[in-house]
Structure 1
Amino acid sequence: MSEELSRRERKKQETRQRLLEAALRLFRERGYNEATIEQIATVADVAKSTFFNYFEAKDAILPALIEWQLQELADALSPERSKLSSPIARIKKALCLIAEDPLSDPVIVRRLFAACRFTSDFHSLYTLTNLLADQVREAQAADEIRDDLDPLYVGGLIRALLFQQLVTWHYERRSESISDMLEDVVDLMLEGLAGPEWRKSS
């Protein structure tokens, strides 16, 4: 009986993952607004009704999709896999990877915030903050960021900066790349959070 339940649970997880992968593919290819639930179900090779066994609406897939992508990002930025030795360099890399992902489209960002607002599910936002806070802790240990600040507070500031710059870049149609723009503003912010330089002036 337990083996049957385990098999059934594994099948459910596989179906959910196929739906996530199908949604990500279609959002990349067609954009969020143009991709439909029916198309997502077709690409995932399931019935349209099956989609609603896992997600109430198209917006409802966003937190799960972003959570999955954030886990992929965390794995890519782990010291074991990252080729970047500097924690600050890894923070910049994290922001660039997020900014260049189709899930960072302002339409999706707005819908994610709306979904969080009406469901009280801010887990994806906290996951990103915690991911950045981990890098901040390492930067503090390496004297790259002053150590008298709460890493979660700094991580939250960086996350807010990321979303603000995404919206600015999109609506002002800047000619510079979003990666270059993010690197510039992060450098400006981190100048005030420097380690050795701050100690010398204090």
Structure 2
Amino acid sequence: MDSLSLRERQKEKRRTRIYHVAIDLFKHNGFQATTATDIAKASNVSRGTFFNYYPYKEAVLLDYGSQIMGRLREHAEARLREGEAPVRVLEEIWAKLAEESGQERDLIPPLAYEVMNPSPERARTAYQALPLSRVIELILAPMQQAGQLRSDLSLQRMSNLIADTYLIIALRWSAYGTERSLAEEMRLTLNFLMEGVLKR
């Protein structure tokens, strides 16, 4: 039993090392320029070992995005427990997400592409790893219970639409840029979206 847990700890340690090395290489050399072989070599593992942990290079980014989503969910839950207004919590989450995305502008396109991957399996994996819509659903739920949201769309549908819009705006900003910061683009977008989901 102890040897199994030791083996599992070693595997987790190796995965963590590969992850950190990969993210570091992506940030310094660019995602497209970094190969699985580069990551394996810098992590002191074989290429085959890399693929044992990550079936494709983009899967590393899913771990990266998943960690961001975890932090956003924890923040949202804490703020809602404190009694903060859901709209304010959503604004905070939106701003934090824009800040994270803005800092790592080159990682947005490949991460966004995974969510829209032509392979249904990879798209599903990305969607599950990046549950932004579920974080938004958590925040909007009290508003729905209070009758503040429109009733002709489900809470899940509205949350998905908001999350999908974030993805498209972030992708467009990353690829083409605008005179506005991503945070400002997102603030304007969120104001527009909330007009669409609030009960009239």
TM-score range, shorter chain: 0.7 to 0.9
TM-score, normalised via structure 2 length? 0.78
Give the structure 2 partner of residue 150 of structure 1.
154
CA distance 1:182–1:10, shift in 2 (3 Å): same
How many correspondences in the alignment?
Answer: 193
Q: Give the 4+ runs in structure 1 shifted more than 6 A.
A: 81-84
Could you list the runs of 5+ residues in structure 2 that have no partner in the other structure? none
Q: 8 Å contact 2:79–2:89 — kept in the other structure? A: no
Distance (whole Å) between structure 2 residues aligned to residue 125 and residue 163 of structure 1: 12
Encode CA deviations 1:54-75: one digit per residue, 9 max, x unaligned: 1222133333332233223322
Partner of 2:108: 105
TM-superposed CA distance for 1:12, in Å, is 1.2
Q: Aligned letter for 1:113?
A: M
CA 97–37 in structure 1, closer or farther in 2 if over 3 Å, else same: farther
In 2, are the aligned partners of 1:63 and 1:112 still within 8 Å (CA)?
no
Show the 5 A alignment for 1:1-202: 2-79=1-78, 85-99=84-98, 100-101=100-101, 102=104, 105-114=108-117, 117-126=119-128, 127-141=131-145, 145-146=148-149, 148=151, 149-194=153-198, 198=200
Does the CA-based 8 Å contact 2:86-2:139 persist in structure 1? yes
Name the % identity.
20
1:185 shift after superposition: 1.3
The answer for unaligned runs of 5 or more in structure 1 is none
The answer as to whether partners of 1:77 and 1:94 remain within 8 angstroms in 2 is yes
Alpha-carbon RMSD across the aligned residues, in angstroms, is 2.9
